[in-house]
Structure 1
Amino acid sequence: MFAVLGVLAALIERQGSGRGQVIDAAIVNGAPVLGHVLWSMLGDGRWSDQRGTNIFDGSAPFYCTYECADGGYVAVGALEPEFFGEMLRLLEIDPGTLGAQRDKAGWPEMRRVLAETFRQRSRDEWSRVFADSDACVTPVLTVVEAADDAQLQARNVFVEVDGVRQPAPAPLFSRTPALRPVPARDGSLTPTSRPPSR
Structure 2
Amino acid sequence: MAGPLASLKVLDFSTLLPGPYATMLLADMGAEVLRVEAPDRMDLTRVMPPHDGGVSTAHGYLNRGKSAISLNLKDEGSADRIKALVAEFDVVVEQFRPGVMDRLGIGYEALKAVNPGLIYCSITGYGQTGPYKNRAGHDINYLSLAGVSSHCGRADSGPPPMGIQIADVAGGSHHAVMGILAAVIHRQQSGEGQYVDVSMTDAAFALNAMSGAACLAGGQEQKPESSLLNGGSFYDYYQTSDGRWLSVGSLEPQFSSRLCDTLGLEKMKSFALSQNPEHQVALKKALKDAIATRTLAEWQAVFSETDACVEPVLTIAEAAEHPQLKARDMVILVDRGDGSQQRQIGFPIKFEKTSCRAEWIGKNLGADNKKYF
Shorter-chain TM-score tier? 0.7 to 0.9
Separation in structure 1 between the aligned mates of residue 292 and residue 348 of structure 2, nearest angstrom:
38
Q: 1:83 aligns with which of 255, 262, 267?
A: 255
Residues 156 and 97 (structure 1), Cα distance of their counterparts in 2 relative to 1, 3 Å cut: closer
Q: Which region of structure 1 is more displaced relative to structure 2, 142-151 or 6-15?
A: 6-15
> Deviation of residue 154 (structure 1)?
1.9
Contact 2:211-2:222 within 8 A present in 1 as well = no
Aligned residues of 1:85 and 1:95 also touching (Cα < 8 A): no
Within-5 A mapping of 1:30-109: 30-42=203-215, 43-44=217-218, 47-49=221-223, 51-61=224-234, 63-96=235-268, 99=271, 100-109=273-282
CA 165–137 in structure 1, closer or farther in 2 if over 3 Å, else same = same
Q: Which residue of 1 aligns with 2:357?
A: 178
Match for 1:142: what amino acid? T
More displaced, 161-170 or 21-30?
A: 161-170
Between 1:17-26 and 1:27-36, the stretch displaced more is 17-26
- The alignment-based identity, stated in percent, is 29
Shift in Å at residue 81 of structure 1? 2.8
Displacement after TM superposition at 1:72 (Å) = 1.5
Distance 1:123 1:176, change over 3 A: closer
Residue among 312, 319, 344 paired with 1:166: 344
How far apart are residue 30 of structure 1 and its match?
1.2
Structure 2, unmatched stretches of 5+, are 1-173, 335-339, 368-373
Selected match of 1:26 from 199, 202, 220: 199
Distance 1:3 1:97, change over 3 A: closer
Q: How many residues are treated as equivalent by the alignment?
A: 184
Alignment gaps of 5+ in structure 1: 190-198
Q: CA deviation at 1:65?
A: 0.6
Q: Structure 2 length as normaliser, TM-score?
A: 0.44
User: Taking CA–CA contacts closer than 8 Å with sequence separation of 6 or more, which of the two structures ends up with the larger relative contact order?
Assistant: 2
SS of the counterpart of 1:53? coil
**Whole-Å Cα distance in 2 between the matches of residues 31 and 55 of structure 1?**
21
- Which range is displaced more, 137-146 or 6-15? 6-15
Q: 1:2 is paired with a residue of what secondary structure?
A: helix
CA-to-partner distance for each residue in 1:57-109, whole Å, 9 max, x for gaps?
A: 32322x11111122211011123333222221222311447634322122221
Q: Distance in 2 between matches of 1:159 and 1:44?
A: 45
Is this contact kept in 1: 2:320–2:326, CA < 8 A? yes
Cα deviation, residue 110, structure 1: 1.0
* TM-score w.r.t. length of structure 1: 0.77
CA deviation vs aligned residue, 1:92-144 (integer Å, no higher than 9, x gap): 31144763432212222111111111112211221222224431110011121
Q: CA RMSD in A?
A: 2.7
